[in-house]
């Protein structure tokens, strides 16, 4: 679902940045109120989780691949505005450091995966959990359904962005300038991949994490105040203490380390994702083309400074090592970026208000 540069027209890319910008600005404002200082490590962990889970490519019956995103899980734990920040940071890191997704198309990728997915999935989750106990198994199922639906709506948005390109941007003879996929091709391909394979994976991961936290660390589910509506909260659990919080972050880091070690499993899936081919790998015959669309050829590789392009640094000589190093570097960059972003948000808040009471200091 990572749209590379060249597949969308500059006009489309610009429009997607315009759509995304108000959400980024609002997310910065909302996160100040919803994510407190002590919860910043949790946001960093969840952003790194999204990065890692997107490295696990799963095979699709038509020979392509897809992946989960994790955006709805972040929304359930920290709220949808925090998910906007977390997934946007993960996508920026992927684009800049690993060449996964474009820089020009970064706004579109964020609209799909960092905005549409968490808000749609979270809306489904809230709708299904009205007056529901915090620890009921049905809440985990609701979160999983939110993840599944959110992912597929995001995939539909990406398919629509692809499919509109040849109709809106083409030569006088009808030859497409950018993505050559029409809606009749892009929508079935994206919904097949995400509806039948990536969506169920998203469901299992989201529901599984929530179910685990319900048994092992329910205090993490209490961070998001929406999860407490109608819930009677009793005395603080051991996990509500400072030692418990440190333990929670420690276990989160351990879980990420295990995921990082397992990321090479994502290399086992053959083929690439629909719409992410390099121009040279595009099947021209399938799309009745005699040459790569001129706009696609011109803008592809717009950002060519990725340090680990394709999650590798040895020209595929040792892809497993490349994946492991990329996972480690990605986690470090994302965690640092989250702290920097939230620090900038806090500094902006202080400059704007002129003062910040220690008792009310948020991120």
**CATH code, 230:** 1.10.1760.20
Per-residue pLDDT, 72: 98
Q: Is residue 135 part of a domain?
A: yes
Q: Is residue 3 part of a domain?
A: no
Q: Is residue 4 part of a domain?
A: no
pTM: 0.92
Per the structure, the complete domain to which residue 232 belongs is given by 10-360
Q: Is residue 69 part of a domain?
A: yes
pLDDT digits (tens, 9 = 90+) for 234-256: 444 444 444 445 456 778 889 99
Q: Is residue 247 part of a domain?
A: yes
Per-residue pLDDT, 355: 53
pLDDT digits (tens, 9 = 90+) for 101-158: 999 999 999 999 999 999 999 999 999 999 899 999 999 999 999 999 999 999 999 9
Q: Is residue 49 part of a domain?
A: yes
Q: Is residue 94 part of a domain?
A: yes
Q: Which of 221, 168, 225, 161 is nearest to 19 (CA)?
A: 161
User: Is 357's pLDDT higher than 60?
Assistant: no
Residue 99 main-chain phi, psi, to 5 deg = 65, 25
**Residues 210/319, Cβ–Cβ less than 8 Å:** no
Q: Is residue 2 part of a domain?
A: no
Report how many domains make up the chain: 1
Q: What is the Cα–Cα distance from 348 to 344, expressed in whole angstroms?
A: 6
Going from the C-alpha of 134 to that of each of 42, 97, 126, 208, 226, the distances in angstroms are: 19, 39, 12, 15, 10
pLDDT digits (tens, 9 = 90+) for 146-198: 999 999 999 999 999 999 999 999 999 999 999 999 999 999 999 999 999 99
């Amino acid at each position: 679902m990572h749209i590379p540069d060249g597949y969308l027209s500059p006009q489309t890319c610009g429009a997607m940045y315009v759509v995304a910008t108000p959400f980024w600005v609002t997310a910065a404002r909302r996160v100040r109120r919803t994510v407190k200082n002590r919860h910043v490590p949790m946001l960093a962990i969840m952003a790194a989780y999204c990065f890692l889970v997107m490295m696990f490519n799963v095979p699709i019956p038509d020979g392509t691949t897809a992946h989960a995103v994790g955006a709805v899980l972040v929304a359930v734990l920290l709220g949808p505005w925090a998910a906007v920040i977390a997934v946007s940071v993960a996508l920026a890191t992927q684009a800049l450091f690993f060449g996964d997704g474009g820089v020009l198309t970064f706004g579109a990728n964020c609209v799909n995966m960092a905005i549409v997915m968490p808000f749609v999935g979270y809306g489904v989750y809230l709708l299904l959990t009205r007056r529901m106990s915090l620890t009921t198994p049905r809440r985990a199922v609701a979160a999983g359904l939110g993840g599944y639906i959110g992912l597929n709506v995001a995939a539909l948005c990406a398919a629509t962005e692809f499919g509109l390109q040849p109709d809106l941007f083409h030569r006088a003879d009808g030859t497409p300038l950018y993505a050559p996929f029409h809606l009749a091709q892009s929508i079935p391909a994206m919904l097949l991949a995400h509806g039948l394979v990536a969506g169920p994976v998203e469901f299992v991961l989201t529901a599984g994490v929530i179910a685990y936290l319900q048994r092992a660390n329910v205090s993490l589910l209490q961070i998001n105040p929406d999860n407490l509506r109608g819930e009677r909260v009793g005395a603080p659990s051991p996990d509500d203490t400072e030692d418990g919080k440190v333990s929670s972050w420690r276990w989160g880091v351990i879980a990420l380390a295990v995921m990082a070690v397992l990321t090479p499993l994502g290399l086992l899936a053959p083929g690439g994702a629909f719409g992410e081919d390099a121009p040279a790998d595009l099947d021209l015959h399938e799309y009745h083309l005699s040459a790569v669309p001129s706009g696609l050829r011109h803008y592809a590789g717009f950002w060519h400074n990725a340090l680990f392009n394709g999650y590798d640094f040895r020209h595929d000589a040792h892809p497993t090592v490349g994946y492991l190093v990329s996972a480690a570097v990605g986690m470090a960059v994302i965690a640092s970026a989250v702290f920097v972003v939230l620090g900038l948000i806090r500094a902006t808040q202080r400059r704007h208000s002129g003062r910040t009471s220690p008792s009310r200091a948020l991120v």
